[in-house]
Structures are given as C-alpha cells and as structure tokens.
Structure 1
Amino acid sequence: MTDAMETPGGENYLATLAGIVSDVGDVAVEMARVQVRELRVLAAAGRLAEEQAAPRNAKVRLHDIALRSIAAEVGGVLRATDRTVQRRIGEARTIIEGFPSAVLAWEAGRIVREHVRAIVDAGTTLPAEMWAEFEAIAIERCEKEAPNRVRGELEILAHRMHPRSFAERHEEAAAGRCVRLISGRDGMSDLIATLPTVIAEGIHDRLTQQARAIVDTRDERAASSEVVASDARTTDQVRADLFADLLLAGTPALDDTRDTAAGPLGAIRARVQVLVPAATLTGADDGPCDLAGRSPIDPATARLLAGSTHMWERLFHDPTTGVTVSTDSYRVPSGMRRFLQARDQHCRFPGCRVAAIRCEVDHTQDHALGGATKLSNLAHLCQRHHSMKQFTAWRVRQLKGGVLEWTSPLGRTYREDAPTPAVAFTPAAPPTTSEPAPF
C-alpha cells in the first residue's frame, strides 16, 4: 500500500483533518454545557410549578394547571407547543433530580448525552430508591464504552437489580403482545407487531437473509427471466415484499422452487446470537440473557433455544482438553469461529455493536502478509469496518487477551477491550475452619 493511499492529500490533508477533529471536540464540550444548562432551567420551571401550588395545599390538579401555564410561557420562547414543553420539563426533572451524578459526569466530559439517556432509560425501570446505586455502577461502565455498546448491558444490569425477577416481568409483558395497523399517507400503512424480542429478532434475521439471497443472485438469474432482469428493488423493499409474501401466501413469490419445502429461500432459517450465563442455563438463576446486538431476553426462551432446537450451537471451553487455537489454512474452522463469536460478541471496531454472527472473521495481520489463522490474530469486523481496515489509513494490532488497539490516520489510538464474558469464574475463599472442605 502506497503512502499516498495511506494519507490522502499528504500533510495538508492531515493538518486539515486534525483541525476538523479538534473543532468537533470543542463544539461537543460547548454543546454538553448548553444542553445541561437547558435541562437545569427546564427542571427549575417544573419546581416553580410545584412551589406555586404548595402554599394552597394544592392537589395534583392545581399543580398541573400551574405547570401548563409555565409550559405555555416557555413554549412561546421556544416556539413549541405547551404539551411538548411540559413533557420536556418532566424529562428534565427526572434527569437532573433523579440522576445528578450522571449529569455531572456528562458536564465534565466523562460521558456523553447518549450515555445519560441510556442510564436514565434503564434506571427508571427500577424503584426510585435504587437509582443512585444503579447510577454509580452505570457511569463507571459508560466511561469505558460507546453508548450503543453499553445500552444493552445497562438494561441487563437494571433487570438483575430489580426486586422482581425478569422472568416474572417478561411473562406479564408477553401478555400484551399484539399486532397493530396504523394508516399512513399515499396508500401506505404501518403493520406493527409487538412480540418477544427473540421472536422479533428471528423474523427480521430470516427476512434479511432471504432478501440478501435474492439481491446477491439477481445477476445470475437475470439471463433466464425478464422479471428478474427488471428487478431493481433495494434490500429494504425486497424484505418488505418477502414479509407480505410469507404472511399472505406462505412462500416467497420469487423462490423458483417454492413448491418444495427445501427451496433456496424456504430453507433459510432465522439465526440469533444469545449469551446465556451458566447459572441461568442450569436454572439456578432467573435473570435476563443477552441477545447480542439487541436487548435482554427472558431466561425461559434462552433455555429453550439452548436445549430444544438444532439451530443452537453450544460452546463449552475446557482448558484441560483444549480448543482449536490455530490452523495452517486461511479458513477459520467452525470450532474456532464459535469460540471467537463467544469472545467478541460483536464487531470489534470502536463503538460498533453489529452482532458477531453478522460479521466477518478478520485476520488482524493480513494472512497474505504472513498473519496466522490463530485466535490471537483473529477478530470479528462488520463489512463496513473490515473495508475501512483494508482501504483506509486506519490500522489495528491485537494485544494479549483479544484486546485490539486501533490507530486513526491522525495517530489517535483507541483501545478496544474484549467484551465482558457472559460468565466469570473467581476462586473460592479458603475455609475459615480446620474442618476439611466439602467435595
């Protein structure tokens, strides 16, 4: 690779890029201060409404009237409706008064606005008296990860801290599953299904695989079909058409072997990647499990996937018997691939959370340049970031423990630690008595 390709435009390009990056950082700091100030002002408006009603032994009704009046006054300045401002006042009070440490961390630049939103969204599912405890743990985690990476982890943390089990709450929520039709414009409508997460994820995954199969083989089939030759649909459009075909007719309209159960599209099955702690798998714990790249799922569904379907691949790593750690070939063996999926969980470019099952296994040091096919030289990258590694000046090296160290074209380094494992083992404390330890 030439120097020109590594640094487009040479020194002038890098100097300009450095200036842009510096300006973006300065603007981000200024925006954070302004946004925090706005929240504090809106929260003060909410407290004023409360104080206005208090001297009269006001009930909720009087407080609401005072709040409406203040919201209308503020709305005139913001050019927003009083309903919108009243909602924003309520959100501001929740953030400022309910999660003050997160606001201070945001103002200090330790975390960003999206981190605060993730903390509040997850934290408010807990009783208010638990918010401070949750907030302290969440801030520490947010300082190490991008918001989209940490959101699912915070949700699971909140579920595990909740006084009621996740399984119990999921059962109640599942009773509200439904399908709704919302009329839109120009003869279009939204069909919305509220389903358990793992089912919704599976549906979307199968539609995506089928849509990609149609788009990827379009050129091969175009020679024998005028219909295919004129097919210029996007992946989203194909996915929507497949969704309608499967619900209305039971088979994809473009599957040329649709009369058989094992046709090319009909044979595609949904894939989901779930991280199940050992205690949950054995039934000793009823906490949530992590649907990688999405959100928590209930433990009963995770156990069903683990034990009752052939689509689940179970991974047991025993260091005494060994796991495939390297091979002489370029191709990554299935056992090693499963190990890497469990280790990486998602794309290993900073901030990306595309699930590992939708990523490519990349040789950190290119195989063509002598990079070995071994665990310490392999990591998952999504197609977008795999291409960035190949065709831009971004560079990466793999350190011990699966840690990736990325270097940007400006020389900035970003450490990408391996995700926290689903299960961690710690040594037991030594016995405090002289009695022999039980087996």
Structure 2
Amino acid sequence: MPSTTHDDLDERIELLDSWVETRRQIACLEAEASSLLARRMRLGRADGDEHSHHRDSIYRSMIAEYSAAGRIAQGSIEYAFTDAAFLEKGHPHVQQAFRAGIVSAAHVREIVRAAGVVHEAVNNGRADADALQRYDVVAVTVAEKETPARTKALLTGAAAVLAGSTTTARHARAASERTVSVRPVGDGLAVLTAVLPDYLAAAVIDRLTQLARAVIAARADREPVLEPMDDGDSPLYPDDIAHDSASRDDHAIFGDGTFTTDPTTDPTTGPAAGPTVEQVPADTRTIDQVRADLLMDLLLAAEPSAENGSGLDNIRGRIHVTVAATTLSGCDDRPAELDGHGPLHPDVARDLAGRMPGWSRLFLDPTGLVVETDSYSPTEAMRRHLRARDQHCRFPGCRMPVHRCQIDHTFDHAKSGRTAIHNLAHLCAGHHALKHPDIADAHRWTAIQLPDGAIDWTSPLGRTYRDDAKRRVMFV
C-alpha cells in the first residue's frame, strides 16, 4: 500500500479545515435567512392585527409566496417561519451561536422544538421567566458537542425539568395525539405515517429490522416444490416394469395405469441437457425495501408470508428500559428512561417490567452515572453496566442502539488491554472496524477511554473528537 507523504497529509488536513469552515459559513447564512423570516413574520402579524378579519388569508399568502420563491414545500416554509419567530423571541444565546456558525440549522430546529414545553410553562406561570435563559445556555452547550439527533434526545429531558412538567402528565397528554395518516408523493407511492408512543415505535422498527435481516440472511435461488404427478399407490417410475422396446414411445413414461411425456425430453430434438425446472429469482431487495414489504405483510396478512422463511413469527421487538426501584414498586412516579430515546411514563415501565421474566438492578452514583449492577456473574454484570451507560454506539454522533453493537476493548486486549468497565464500550460494526488492527496506520482511528467513561477518538489526520458518557440525571 502506498505510504502517505507529509504533503499528502497536509492536503487532507487543509481540505478538512476548509470543509469545516464552509459548514460554519453556511450556518451563518442560515442564521441570516432565519432573521429575515423573523422580520417578515413581524410584518405579517402587524398586517393581521390591522386587518383582523383577513388574518388567516394574510398568513397563508405569506407562506405561499415564500414557498413559491424558494421552491420549497409549504409545510417546510411554515416550520421555518415558526422556528425563526421562536428563536428571535426567546433564545438570544442560541441565536448568537447560530450567527457565529457554532451550531447548525439542524441543531437550531431541534433546540426550538424541544423548548416548546418550557415556553408553555413560562406562559402559564408554571415556570420562572428565567427558565428559558437557563434552557438557552444548556442547549448551546449540548449542541456544540453533539449531533442534532443526540441534541434532541438530551434537551427533551432538560426542557421537562426546567418546565416542571412531569413525564406522566406530558405522556398522558401526548398519547391522545396518536394517529395514522397517508399522503401521496407521486409515481404510485404514498407516505404512511404512524404517530405512536416512542417505546412502541422503537419496538416496531426493531422488529421489522430483525425480520428483514432474517429474510436477507436466508435468501437464495430456490427451486419450487413440485406436487406429485401420481396420486396412486404405485410409483411413477417403477424399476421392475419391462416394456417391449419395439412398441414403446421413446419419449413416454409408462407406469401402472399412467402415461405421460418425460418433462426432461423434447420429442422433436431428443433428450434435453437437463431438467427445465423454473427457478425462483434471487431476492435483491434492500433492507429498507424488505422492511417496507414486511410491514405490509404484517398489517394486511397479520403475519409474514411463507416465502419469507421460517421462524419469523418468533422475532419480537426489543427495547431497553431503566427504572428506579421505588418507581417499579409504586412508591413514586419518577419517569423511567427508554434507553437512547428519552423519558418513559412510569406506568408503561411498570407494565413492561411485569411482562418480563426478570430485570437487572442498577446502582447509581450521586451524579446519576451507573457504577454497579446486582449480579453473581461479573461478566454479565459488566455487560449490563455498559448497556445502561452507553445506550448506543460510542463513536461521536452515532445512534446505533447497544443491542445492535459489539462490546469493544478500547485498548486492544491482544496488547494487554484489561476486560474492565473503563476499557470497554459499545461500537457498531462500522465504527468498530475503524480501529481494527488490520487497517493500515494511515487510515486507522485510535481511541482512549477516560476515567469518567468519555472516549477520545483520534482520526488518521490527528484530530481528536470526544464522546461523553451520558448521565442518567441532568442538573441545570
């Protein structure tokens, strides 16, 4: 393999720096565009106040014009206007970071939407006015280090704490909004949308993924199973029946009371090279296509079709839930945690626990970090600890849940790395491969796990990216 020269390395570093700077400039321009929408929103509201009978028409006209001018769907433009107005009204710290290009438009979208419960609590007098300011500071701190998806998950819990809103109340209110809808997207396709409780939605997509992987693992060219041609007691091809060669048809098969043409022989050309049995074509569907087909099977036929293989009915969706012992026993209604997704209604957690054959007890330190599990088997205890700590792949930004990840020795076991909590972490197959010793040094990543569970990843260019171990409780 050709070695990487010093000049090549400098070029790669320069390209990375240029890309990061370009993304920062894009964020700055997105912030400017958001400010323009906020200013237009103020003018629209002023027009609506002046002509109150036409307020709705004025608003719809504004949305339609920007949608047409920007060649953007009206729903997307409406969201952009709403986000811009909320950002300008109650999030000066986020707005400042946005204008500086520190956070992206995708981060701002998640920050503003997660803040909805805080705005509602302040407006209703359930939270102090400075709750929004505290949320603002937390939001920027999180968004500077995390992807938009992780930012959303972390800020959902922080917003609930600041709003003084209990998981029980919010989930009870949200449950009434569950729905299924469909809309056409053209070319014979439509989007089927199901708004479900998150623990059920997580289990649905997990089960579909397991089913799809089972189908893909078993698929291959298969010959059809042909029904017997003779329903009688005698075999179709008896070995002990002799026929007069002078009087028999060379292309006929005679049995006891049967007569048929040999399917492997063409009477006009003689014996064929082999059986002309039609084969089932290979299954070339992607995993997304298989998931979609299985969803239709499950909804329309109640179970996967026989062609998809055996054993699929035994696959169930998997989720991981952490709940306090006091909540499990009914002593309090503290929210449980749906690992990798966010808070879970305590009644749902208790119901799920009652359906399981057993569960693991976890011990938390004062900061909320899981430090020990109650088990006689040290190896399994470490696994349970790591599942509770990691929740997903520990590569920066990756959200692959732990049950689809591999437990990796951060410092290679073959080089005396210890099998201990501070040297183990979940990695998905793709990110695990990045640090595999078989990869050339010029392309291999390295990782160092710190005492608090954070992992510093160093790229082939020498850049370091940190993934922090998340606490179960966030104090703001």
Query: Which category of TM-score, normalised to the shorter sequence, fits these structures?
Result: 0.7 to 0.9
Partner of 1:330: none
Gaps of 5+ in 2: 123-130, 226-277, 365-370
Partner of 1:241: 293
For 1:343 and 1:171, locate their aligned partners in 2 and report how far apart those are by CA, in whole Å. 28
Q: 2:88 aligns with which of 90, 96, 121?
A: 96
Partner deviation per Cα, 1:285-343 (whole Å, 9 max, x = no partner): 54544323334432211222223323x642334989976897xxxxxx43321111011
Q: Which moved more, 1:109-118 or 1:224-233?
A: 224-233
**Larger Cα-atom Rg:** 2
Q: Which amino acid aligns with 2:87?
A: I
* Distance apart, 1:382 and its partner CA: 0.9
For 1:71 and 1:251, locate their aligned partners in 2 and report how far apart those are by CA, in whole Å. 44
For 2:31 and 2:299, locate their aligned partners in 1 and report how far apart those are by CA, in whole Å. 47
Partner of 1:21: 16
Residue 397 and residue 229 in structure 1: after superposition, are their counterparts in 2 closer, same or farther (change >3 A)?
A: farther
Contact 1:362–1:380 (CA under 8 A) maintained in structure 2 = yes
Q: Any idea what SS the aligned residue of 1:414 has?
A: strand
Contact 2:372–2:385 (CA under 8 A) maintained in structure 1 = no
Partner deviation per Cα, 1:210-246 (whole Å, 9 max, x = no partner): 2112212335x85898867622222222222222333
* Distance apart, 1:189 and its partner CA: 3.7
For 2:161 and 2:391, locate their aligned partners in 1 and report how far apart those are by CA, in whole Å. 20
- Larger helix fraction of residues: 1
Q: Which amino acid aligns with 1:252?
A: P
Partner deviation per Cα, 1:66-118 (whole Å, 9 max, x = no partner): 66676677678656699976664443222122212111122234433322222
* Distance apart, 1:282 and its partner CA: 4.4
For 1:404 and 1:389, locate their aligned partners in 2 and report how far apart those are by CA, in whole Å. 13
Partner of 2:456: 405
Partner of 1:10: 5
Give identity over the alignment, percent. Answer: 36
1:13-412 equivalences under 5 Å are: 13-51=8-46, 58=50, 60-61=52-53, 78=70, 88-128=80-120, 129=122, 130-183=131-184, 185-218=186-219, 230-254=282-306, 264-278=311-325, 280-283=327-330, 285-286=332-333, 288-310=335-357, 313-317=359-363, 333-390=379-436, 391=439, 392-412=443-463
Contact 1:180–1:191 (CA under 8 A) maintained in structure 2 = yes
Partner deviation per Cα, 1:329-379 (whole Å, 9 max, x = no partner): xxxx43321111011111111111221122111121223333333222211
Partner deviation per Cα, 1:236-279 (whole Å, 9 max, x = no partner): 22222222333333332247885xxxxx2222221112233455
Contact 1:223–1:229 (CA under 8 A) maintained in structure 2 = no
For 2:75 and 2:473, locate their aligned partners in 1 and report how far apart those are by CA, in whole Å. 43
Q: Which amino acid aligns with 1:167?
A: T
Contact 1:152–1:290 (CA under 8 A) maintained in structure 2 = no
For 1:292 and 1:223, locate their aligned partners in 2 and report how far apart those are by CA, in whole Å. 44
Residue 309 and residue 100 in structure 1: after superposition, are their counterparts in 2 closer, same or farther (change >3 A)?
A: same
Q: Which amino acid aligns with 2:115?
A: G
Q: Which amino acid aligns with 1:384?
A: G
Contact 1:406–1:413 (CA under 8 A) maintained in structure 2 = yes
For 1:87 and 1:39, locate their aligned partners in 2 and report how far apart those are by CA, in whole Å. 11
Q: Which amino acid aligns with 1:234?
A: T
* Distance apart, 1:162 and its partner CA: 3.6
Residue 156 and residue 279 in structure 1: after superposition, are their counterparts in 2 closer, same or farther (change >3 A)?
A: farther
Q: Which amino acid aligns with 2:106?
A: E
Contact 1:99–1:131 (CA under 8 A) maintained in structure 2 = yes
Over aligned residue pairs, what C-alpha RMSD do you find? 3.5
Q: Any idea what SS the aligned residue of 2:314 has?
A: coil
For 2:98 and 2:291, locate their aligned partners in 1 and report how far apart those are by CA, in whole Å. 39
Q: What TM-score comes out, normalization by structure 1 length?
A: 0.78
Gaps of 5+ in 1: 259-263, 327-332, 425-439
Residue 227 and residue 29 in structure 1: after superposition, are their counterparts in 2 closer, same or farther (change >3 A)?
A: same
Residue 350 and residue 84 in structure 1: after superposition, are their counterparts in 2 closer, same or farther (change >3 A)?
A: closer
Q: Which amino acid aligns with 1:395?
A: T
Contact 1:212–1:235 (CA under 8 A) maintained in structure 2 = yes
For 1:321 and 1:48, locate their aligned partners in 2 and report how far apart those are by CA, in whole Å. 58
For 1:324 and 1:150, locate their aligned partners in 2 and report how far apart those are by CA, in whole Å. 36
Q: Which amino acid aligns with 1:406?
A: W
Residue 90 and residue 201 in structure 1: after superposition, are their counterparts in 2 closer, same or farther (change >3 A)?
A: closer
* Distance apart, 1:142 and its partner CA: 2.8
